[in-house]
Amino acid sequence: MDFRRRLPSDAPMRHPLFAAALALTACGPAVTPAAAAPPQRGAQADASHDVPAPPSPPSLQPTNHVLVRAGHVLDVRTGNLLADQLITVDGDTITSMTAAPASMPPGDVVDLSKYTVVPGLIDVHTHLTGSPEYIGLRGLTLSVPRQALIGAHNARVTLEAGFTTVRDVGAAGYADVALRDSIDAGDVPGPRMIVSGPALGITGGHCDDNELPPERHAVGDGVADGIAAVQHKVRENVKYGATVIKVCATGGVLSKGDDPRTSQYSLDELRAIVADAHRLGRKVAAHAHGGDGIKFSVEAGVDSIEHGTFIDDEAIAAMKKHGTYLVPTQYLGDWFLENAERLHIPDYMLAKARSVMPESRRNLAHAFASGVKVALGTDAAVYPHGLNARELGVYVKMGMKPIDAIRTATINAADLLGWKDRAGALEPGKWADLVAVDGDPTKDVTTLEHVKLVMKAGHVYRDERSR
């Protein structure tokens, strides 16, 4: 799914109405931005693609000192639960993790001795500025400032669900860039964001605006045809703040007049997109349902395949050879088909959804069993934000062990983003992003749907321990 309504060419990149988002998000902790400093870059991403990590967001309160006493800590690398641990947080970073002493040292203590603590979760396929009630023609009524305000609400909901980092892949008018910058500045609470701006797509393709009649001459923000045009669009997105490039390599489901089985960009166009993006330090996420579109994208060197509905053995082999991640987006099929009638989904969308979504489950289960690398992505906005963790339970039903499902939302996702040195595990030197739950998620992954406490960068954003 892509949420990409056209931005008039003279519209401002930062609309003053975005300040109103504060009224929607007053429940976040009070924070004061630190003095401006050059962003620090993380470690190198997968060397096979040689793309540097995105810049890390600035730390808002580097003097913060917190002690977290955890009943159990999940080591996502080994799958072991470590009992009675003390996690020390300075600023936004974990500085140590040791066995908890009999008497606690001085400092602010977050007592999680009754809970299991896991790393903050990561969703690598969101659309925070979209919501399911705006799928179809109703989405044409939304201005870019309205989408930014929707994003401010959804960012808070997503963070409170335990997702401390997201990759947002497709938004109109760079509303996702404005949202990310407001979160980083401490204006609104939300997850750490990597953002794409408008997704690239062909004329009449999944990422174009196809609903309006010809006399309207409506064109999606990211539409570009031909090698020179796609190179320009990549550079334009980078100019306006994109830290990842999203490309629609095949048709889609929730779009008019296209076929998810067919490729849209040519191999040469995809190669040009990837070459420019990687040269400019951005990874590439390719929306790709159909087999040829997946193969073209992998051959061109994209970093992840989004959806992968009609993946076959040839595509699986290519992804394994190149180390390309699969981002499955599976729970949306359950929720969407159950709620399509209530949402008044247009018939042309619903017909494709009923054909495509069940087949996706079968093909991707085969890809899982075949050893393709997987990072959790939800396509939240096709269903309500905040239900992101339900994706994990679907992976288990499709054959994953619970710990492997959890890894898709932690160390695997961090690796895909280029932040494996900063996120995805509870270890010294990484961001102090953690989630507390009842029970043992390695036995029942659905416990992650009911978080008790969420900490991002050393600050608590949700605390349900007394309830």
> What pLDDT is recorded for position 19?
42
Q: What is the pLDDT of residue 22?
A: 41
Of the pLDDT bands very low, low, confident and very high (cuts 50, 70, 90), residue 31 is very low
- For the cut 60, the answer to whether the pLDDT of residue 315 exceeds it is yes
Q: What is the pLDDT of residue 100?
A: 93
Average pLDDT for residues 290-295, to the nearest whole number?
A: 89
Q: Which domains does the chain have, with CATH numbers?
A: 65-120+425-463 (2.30.40.10), 121-417 (3.20.20.140)
How many angstroms separate the CA atoms of 459 and 66, rounded?
Answer: 9
pLDDT given at position 404? 98
> 115 to each of 12, 83, 97, 238, how far by Cα in Å?
46, 10, 16, 42
At 342 the pLDDT is: 85
pLDDT interval class at 50 (50, 70, 90): low
In tens, the pLDDT along 226-262 reads 999 999 999 999 999 999 999 999 987 766 667 778 8
The pLDDT of residue 46 is above 60: no
Kindly write down the DSSP assignment for every residue of 114-164, as one continuous string.
Answer: EEEEEEPEEEEEE-TT--GGGSGGGGGG--HHHHHHHHHHHHHHHHHTTEE
Nearest to 178 by CA among 163, 277, 187: 187
Average pLDDT for residues 173-199, to the nearest whole number?
A: 96
Return the H-helix or E-strand segment holding 412: helix 411-417
Higher pLDDT, 450 or 358: 450
Q: What is the mean pLDDT of the chain?
A: 86
Q: Which residue has the higher pLDDT, 263 or 137?
A: 263
Interior CA angle at 294 toward 292 and 296, to 5°? 65
pLDDT of residue 37: 35
Taking residues 149-178, what's their average pLDDT?
97
Q: What is the pLDDT of residue 17?
A: 41
pLDDT band at 38 (very low <50, low <70, confident <90, very high): very low
- Residues involved in catalysis: 246, 379
Model pLDDT, residue 206: 74
At 2 the pLDDT is: 47
Q: 413: which DSSP letter?
A: H
Q: What was the pLDDT predicted at 131?
A: 82
Q: How many Å apart are CA 112 and CA 98, to the nearest integer?
A: 15
The pLDDT tens digits for 423-459 are: 999 999 999 999 999 999 999 999 999 999 999 999 9
- pLDDT category at 271 given cuts 50, 70, 90 is very high
> What mean pLDDT is predicted for residues 116-144?
87
What's the pLDDT score for residue 261? 80
Mean pLDDT of the 158-185 span: 96
Give pLDDT, residue 218.
Answer: 65
Region 29-58: mean pLDDT is: 48
In which band, very low, low, confident or very high, does the pLDDT at 217 lie, cut at 50, 70 and 90? low
39-60: average pLDDT: 55
CA distances from 1 to 77, 203, 286, 353, 410 (A): 32, 17, 12, 11, 23
Q: What is the pLDDT of residues 359-378, one digit of tens each?
A: 899 999 999 999 999 999 99
| Residues paired with 112 in a beta bridge | 70
* Average of per-residue pLDDT across 145-153: 95
Per-residue confidence band for 49, with pLDDT thresholds at 50, 70 and 90: low
d(CA 197, CA 62): 29
Which one is predicted more confidently, 5 or 91?
Answer: 91
Alpha-carbon dihedral angle through residues 132, 136, 137, 140, given to the nearest 10 degrees? 70
pLDDT band for 63, please (50, 70, 90 cuts): low
Mean pLDDT score, 337-359: 82
**Whole-structure pTM value:** 0.86
Q: What is the pLDDT of residues 380-395, one digit of tens each?
A: 998 999 999 999 999 9
What pLDDT is stored for residue 53 in this prediction? Answer: 74
Q: Is the pLDDT of residue 25 over 80?
A: no
| Measured CA distances, 269 to 3, 246, 297, 314, 393 (Å) | 22, 13, 10, 21, 37
The strands making up 81-90's β-sheet, listed across from edge to edge, are 93-99, 81-90, 65-74, 108-119, 434-437, 453-456, 459-463
Dist CA 267 CA 146 (whole Å): 36
